[in-house]
Amino acid sequence: MSEEEKKPLITELAKSSRSSCRGCRNKINKGDLRAGIPFKFTIESGKEVFSYGYYHIHCVPKSHQDEVLHLLEKNDLVTKNEVFEIRKNIIQSASDTPKLDEAPFLEVSKSSRSSCRLCESKLLKDEYRVAEPSKIELSDGRVISGHKYYHLNCFLDSQKNSKEIFSSIIQESLRRNILTPETIENIKSSFYSTFKEEDSASLVLRIIGETPISIEIIKQKAKEMNVNFNIVEKVLKQRLEKGEIFEPQLNHFQKL
């Protein structure tokens, strides 16, 4: 029996708070329910080693969700009712397409009082910002409708399907008549140029496979393809944050 076969997918309560979720990149606290997905990587000696990548249950990749839910139904970590709630939450969070009335849109910041929810920097007056409709809980327990605000770059960088989300934002902004069509066209031209650069960077990053690739090899590939390495680094960072690839050792990258 191979080492890979000895390491099946697992569900368990975290034994410590040292691990981070490969989905949302946040800490998995001691005692939290987590799933461990086996993966292999190659160490400096050339030997293949098998280990686990851990996820919050609601962050498990879609390809493993059914298996994780099946395991939870078999073990005694949670009740059947809790499994039902977990399944419902996974289905709800898997929807990438917001409802029209809940879709984010672009607007001009009316002051410099708000901050981006992602980078936490100020959103300056007259700067374009993404407004995401949301429910806000007040200190007295009341829940009201409001908005979360983001820099457009920050918001798109946090999305898996940034092109589709950008198109949705543009359509919603036009529907609400918040910005003029001319302004929208200028914004679109700027960002479609960025998407084109990122597509070229993605072609460079195709060399990342199931064995570690050094940053120097990636730099050389970018040079051969005449692609700006700063853009490659940006896309590389996005893929690390989304858990599509990982860094088994310093400045070496590999597919999960």
Does 59 share its domain with 109? no
**Per-residue confidence (pLDDT) for residue 130, from 0 to 100:** 92
Pick the residue with more confidence: 159 or 142?
159
Cβ neighbours, 10 Å, residue 153: 14
Measured between alpha carbons, how far is 8 from 37 in angstroms, rounded to an integer? 8
Q: Which of 63, 93, 123 delimits the end of a domain?
A: 93
Tell me which residue of 30, 35, 29, 31 sits closest to 58, measured CA to CA: 35
Does 171 share its domain with 232? no
Does 88 share its domain with 105? no
Measured between alpha carbons, how far is 150 from 40 in angstroms, rounded to an integer? 37
Whether 188 maps to a domain, the answer reads no
Whether the full predicted model's pTM is greater than 0.85, yes or no, is no
- Looking up residue 77, the CATH number of its domain turns out to be 3.30.1740.10
Whether 5 maps to a domain, the answer reads no
What value does the mean pLDDT take over residues 139-155?
Answer: 74
Measured between alpha carbons, how far is 241 from 243 in angstroms, rounded to an integer? 5
- Domains contained in the chain, number: 3
Q: Which of 93, 122, 153 delimits the end of a domain?
A: 93
Asked whether residue 98 carries a pLDDT value surpassing 60, the answer given is: no
Structural domain of 17: 10-93
Share of the chain above pLDDT 90, in %: 7
Q: What is each CA distance from 89 to 58, 60, 115, 136, 169, in whole angstroms?
A: 7, 12, 29, 19, 25
Rounded to 5 degrees, what are φ and ψ at 186? -65, -40
For 238, left (φ over 0), alpha (ψ -120 to 50), or beta?
Answer: alpha
